[in-house]
Structure 1
Amino acid sequence: MIEEIRKRLDVYDSSPTECDGMTRICSTILTKEGIKHQPMLGSVVYQEKKIEPHFWINLANNYCIDYRLRMWLGKDSKIPHGVFNVKDFPRLKYQGNPINWEPLTAETLFILTLPFTMTV
């Protein structure tokens, strides 16, 4: 099940969104697929670095969905990315509260997942 969720969501990793937008995208996809999940808002602490506010998704069995943690903490492989078991990263501390929101409309989902190219 986790591998299926990962395969379904990894394709959206390239969206030009931060943690709020990416969490909304993932939550929308999971809702449409009928997969139980809980969007969260709070903070993440890794070593001495704290990110607040931060959005992510909690799944059953200590799994978490967070595609934007490395955006703020760096590309270190010790920092998880995507769908992972929080227990595998004991130095990472998530604290937050559940939030509820409606799934994105098809139009908004389309816009948030359009390829982004920057021209100078």
Structure 2
Amino acid sequence: MSDWHDELELALLPLKDLRVDSVYMTFVISNALNERGIFHQCRIGYAEDLLSRMTTAPHCWVELEQGWCIDLRLRQWLGDEDDLPHGVFQPSDYPRARYQGTALLVPRLDVGDLKVMTSDAYSKVKLPWSAGQAAAA
């Protein structure tokens, strides 16, 4: 994982203990990424554990450039096992899991609403600048 992806994962830690579904979590993460101007695409579909054959649907996650993904909810539904993805990851590093989905349009939410929705955990999320943004700054 690159230093930037490590920083991104650490910045999202305040959200990991929220007891919310993947749709809600994806809305929160997408709004945080939009605040920093970080390109991403939200997805809705399903995720499957190819070992146990368990599936969670609907399931939402965030895709970043170069194939990176963000998912803080999969283990909540399929089991807290190290070979299932969690956080910021490359799907190819987790062959046990399969994602299938389509684009999800996420509404832009007011920062105040996001803080209330997350019991103020949103205010603790301090995303890093992307490499392109840091070079321009």
The two structures share one fold, judged by TM-score above 0.5: yes
Deviation track 1:58-113 (CA, whole Å, cap 9, x = no partner) reads 11122110000011001111111111110101121111001122222122211221
**2:37 aligned with 1:34:** yes
- Kindly tell me the number of residue pairs found equivalent between the two proteins: 115
Conservation of the 8 A alpha-carbon contact between 2:47 and 2:55: yes
Deviation track 1:16-65 (CA, whole Å, cap 9, x = no partner) reads 31111111110010000111000100011112111110010011122110
Conservation of the 8 A alpha-carbon contact between 1:64 and 1:86: yes
Which protein has the bigger helix share?
Answer: 2
SS in 2 for 1:35: coil
What TM-score does the superposition give when structure 1 sets the normalisation length?
Answer: 0.88
Deviation (angstroms), 1:7: 2.1
Name the CA distance, whole Å, in 2 between partners of 1:16 and 1:104.
19
Name the CA distance, whole Å, in 2 between partners of 1:2 and 1:107.
26
* TM alignment of 1:11-22, pairs within 5 A: 11-22=14-25
The aligned counterpart of 2:61 is 56
The aligned counterpart of 1:118 is none
Conservation of the 8 A alpha-carbon contact between 2:44 and 2:61: yes
Name the CA distance, whole Å, in 2 between partners of 1:20 and 1:95.
15
Deviation (angstroms), 1:4: 2.4
Name the CA distance, whole Å, in 2 between partners of 1:23 and 1:78.
21
The aligned counterpart of 2:127 is none
Unaligned runs of 5+ residues in structure 2 are: 121-137
Unaligned runs of 5+ residues in structure 1 are: 116-120
* TM alignment of 1:1-120, pairs within 5 A: 1-47=4-50, 48-114=53-119
Which protein has the bigger strand share?
Answer: 1
Structure 1 residue ranges (4+ consecutive) displaced by more than 2 angstroms after TM superposition: none
Q: Percent identity?
A: 33
Conservation of the 8 A alpha-carbon contact between 2:85 and 2:97: no
SS in 2 for 1:7: helix
